[in-house]
Structures are given as C-alpha cells and as structure tokens.
Amino acid sequence: MSPLVLFRRVAVAEAVTWALLLTGMVLKYVTETTELGVRVGGMLHGVVFLAYGLVTLLVWVDQRWTPRDGLLGLASAVPPFATIPFDAYAERRGLLGARGGRWRLRHEPPSGPVEQVAAWLLRHPARGALVGLLLLAGLTALALAVGPPVG
C-alpha cells in the first residue's frame, strides 16, 4: 500500500468518525434522546484519531515533510473534517508520493534513528502493522485510563 493510499484511507476514516461523533452529540445534547452515539462515536473517533496521528508521523518521516507540513498534518485532525482538505493539499504538493508513490525508506538507506525505526516498520510490513496496532492499543488504553477530555 502506497503512502497516498494509506494516508487517504486514514484521513477519510478520521473525517467519518468526526461525523459519527457530531451526530452522537446532536442526539445527546440537542434532542436529548440517547448518549449511545457519543459513547460509540467518541470511542471510534478516538481510536481513528490516534491512528491518523501515527500514520501521519510515519508518512512525515518517510516522505521527509517539513516540520510545518508535519505539524499541519497532525493539527488537521483537531477541527472536524480538516483531514480531507489537508489530504488534498498534501497530494497537490507531492507530499504523499513524490517518489512514484513509493515508500522512500523501503528502498533508500535511513539516516538517523527515527528513519531507522520507520525503515524497519516499512521493510517488514506484517511486523510493522503489528507494532502499529500494539502502539494504537497502548495509546487507546492510556487515553481510557486518563478519561474523557471534558469532565
């Protein structure tokens, strides 16, 4: 899977879960009919939000984004639906596959410890996916332990 395809799928999923969460908030706070939408939509959104952050970090390192583009990519997960326009911006600027849609670190030697980790993850896709899922599970567990953002 190319950086473009992976990033786009997670960016769209992040926007979809925003829609689920906002729908749940309308049901809870406006119509006062149920809290289920916030519980389910909030959990889904939280997990996909974290996944988007992890994928953004991986693509940032692999595609050598500038700090400005990387931070903009991460920040786009905060406002509802902003990952979609950021995805379009990133594609327009060649940030999601300037090298023929390939993962750079699968073919080029890494420079530095951060690139070495990213290269290992990308060169061992099954293990890399497992590490990503374990990291996502750990971050989700930590978020659940800390509690919701609003008391």
Residue-wise pLDDT tens digits, 11-60:
999 999 999 999 999 999 999 999 888 999 999 999 999 999 999 999 99
- CA gap 35, 39 in Å, rounded: 6
Answer yes or no: is pLDDT of 148 > 90.
no
Mean pLDDT of the chain: 94
Secondary structure of the chain in HEC code, one letter for each residue: CCHHHHHHHHHHHHHHHHHHHHHHHHHHHHCCCCCHHHHHHHHHHHHHHHHHHHHHHHHHHHCCCCHHHHHHHHHCCCCCCCHHHHHHHHHHCCCCCCCCCCCHHHCCCCCCHHHHHHHHHHHCHHHHHHHHHHHHHHHHHHHHHHCCCCC
Phi-psi region of 27 (alpha: psi -120 to 50; beta: other; left: phi over 0): alpha
The structure tokens listed for 73 are: 């990519």
Per-residue confidence (pLDDT) for residue 12, from 0 to 100: 98
- Looking at 21-25, 26-30, 94-98, 109-113, which range is the least confident one? 94-98
**What's the rounded mean pLDDT across residues 55-73?**
97
